[in-house]
Amino acid sequence: MKVQILQEKLKEGLNIVERISSKSLTLPILNNILVSSEKNFLNLAATDLEIGINWWVLAKIEKQGKITIPSRLLSSFVGFLPNKKINLEVKNNNLICECENYKTQIKGLPAEEFPLIPKISEAESIVLESASFCKSLSQLADIAVPSTTRPEISGIYFSFQKKLLTIASTDSFRLGEKKIYLKNSLAQEYSLILPQKTVKEIINIFSEKPGEIKMFFSPNQVMFEYLMEETKHAQIQVVSRLIEGEYPNYQEIIPKKFTTQLILDRAEFLNQVKTASLFSGKINEIKIKVIPKEKKALIFSQSPDIGNYQSSISGKIEGKPIEISFNHRFLLEGISGIKSSELIFEMNGDSNPGLLKPVGDDTYLYVVMPIKTT
């Protein structure tokens, strides 16, 4: 391989793909990035066997070829170079990089040993607006937690029905759900569970990208693709395996009615719950006492070692008085996922889940289980 490419282009690609390369002791080649030429494109690829990523850029290809190179080293090295033309050449399992007054030879591993990243571009696909899709994902990405006994809830659930995509995430103590309205309609319905790591990488890779990404479906995998503006050739492809199993029928636990409803200033409520958390001790418990008659709610926490806390918040408060306890961490994450200036908090007695949602936005909801204090 003999290739010429501008430093800032190569750096951009390395920053994207190096995230996926893993620190594998059993399979050292996974620490490497596959650098190869494909006609008049330079291709970078990395995989951790769960997610695979490909990145392409137009380059001056003088000789076709390929090699794999330790990812952090290559990325750090290229990062230090001036923004000038870089000459890359493969010789005897080494990559020779020359750029102005810099010249290095980096030891690689043969490209033939690098695992194949599957391509599934023949499958049915859907178009997603990248920035808003990633914003939606980020409202849910942190809710799931790794679970060996229930692997299905360690991922994020996607359900496509005609023009509606519903995403959900839970750890059985809380649940987040987000609806996204699609531009085009799918011929069939899809539901799938994407690993949490994939979702987080999708957010990292595509959040700042203008325009659209395409999502392709196959029975065991999905692919996200972003095209180059000029050539319409793929610039980025992320392929991920799916998590097997059936996602729990979470719809059942979303409260459909309420006996107590609060409409609160989001920032003020967030700050009071954060402050209360300082005093909540080891079980993370904070108590909310709603007094509809006074249009206010009191927030309490206490710990025998630390002391005790009380604050009050006013708002539009209706329904029955209630005293209910929550884990402050779960409540905080729900409030943080809401972006509107006011939020709605609905409850059905002290032993049923509470519901948080934005004011003026029906696409997001968050269900949180109370701490039963009996």
Residues that bind its own copies (CB under 8 A): 70, 73, 76-77, 80-81, 94, 101-107, 271-272, 274-275, 278-279, 305-313
d(CA 370, CA 173): 8
49 C-beta neighbours (distance < 10 Å), count: 12
d(CA 372, CA 238): 43
Query: In the complex with its own copies, which residue's Cβ is closer, 125 or 272?
Result: 272
What are 236's two structure tokens?
């980025």
d(CA 349, CA 258): 9
Query: In the complex with its own copies, which residue's Cβ is closer, 145 or 306?
Result: 306
SS3 content of the chain, % helix, strand, coil (to 5): 20, 45, 35
Provide the 3-class DSSP secondary structure of residue 17.
Answer: helix
Task: Work out how close the CB of 69 gets to its own copies at its nearest, in angstroms, rounded to a whole number.
Answer: 9
Provide the 3-class DSSP secondary structure of residue 8.
Answer: helix
Please report the DSSP string for 242-304 in residue order: ---S----GGGGS-S--SEEEEEEHHHHHHHHHHHHTT-TTTTEEEEEEEGGGTEEEEEEEET
Residue 143 amino acid letter = I
Task: Work out how close the CB of 213 gets to its own copies at its nearest, in angstroms, rounded to a whole number.
Answer: 33
d(CA 98, CA 5): 11
d(CA 59, CA 46): 19
Task: Work out how close the CB of 83 gets to its own copies at its nearest, in angstroms, rounded to a whole number.
Answer: 12
Query: In the complex with its own copies, which residue's Cβ is closer, 102 or 145?
Result: 102
Provide the 3-class DSSP secondary structure of residue 365.
Answer: strand
* Per-residue b or e along 279-290, where b marks 16 or more CB atoms closer than 10 Å to that residue's CB: bbeeebbbbbeb
Task: Work out how close the CB of 284 gets to its own copies at its nearest, in angstroms, rounded to a whole number.
Answer: 15
Task: Work out how close the CB of 272 gets to its own copies at its nearest, in angstroms, rounded to a whole number.
Answer: 8
Angle at alpha carbon of residue 364, lines to 361 and 365, rounded to 5°: 115
Task: Work out how close the CB of 24 gets to its own copies at its nearest, in angstroms, rounded to a whole number.
Answer: 17
Query: In the complex with its own copies, which residue's Cβ is closer, 49 or 283?
Result: 283
Query: In the complex with its own copies, which residue's Cβ is closer, 124 or 294?
Result: 294
Query: In the complex with its own copies, which residue's Cβ is closer, 24 or 312?
Result: 312
Please enumerate in sequence order all residues whose Cβ is within 8 A of that of 22, keeping only pairs 6 or more positions apart, or say none: 30, 31, 48, 49
Place of tokens 């719809």: 251
Residue 72 contacts residue 46 (beta carbons within 8 Å): no
Query: In the complex with its own copies, which residue's Cβ is closer, 287 or 357?
Result: 287
Query: In the complex with its own copies, which residue's Cβ is closer, 275 or 284?
Result: 275
Query: In the complex with its own copies, which residue's Cβ is closer, 102 or 124?
Result: 102
Task: Work out how close the CB of 292 gets to its own copies at its nearest, in angstroms, rounded to a whole number.
Answer: 17
Task: Work out how close the CB of 298 gets to its own copies at its nearest, in angstroms, rounded to a whole number.
Answer: 9
Task: Work out how close the CB of 314 gets to its own copies at its nearest, in angstroms, rounded to a whole number.
Answer: 8
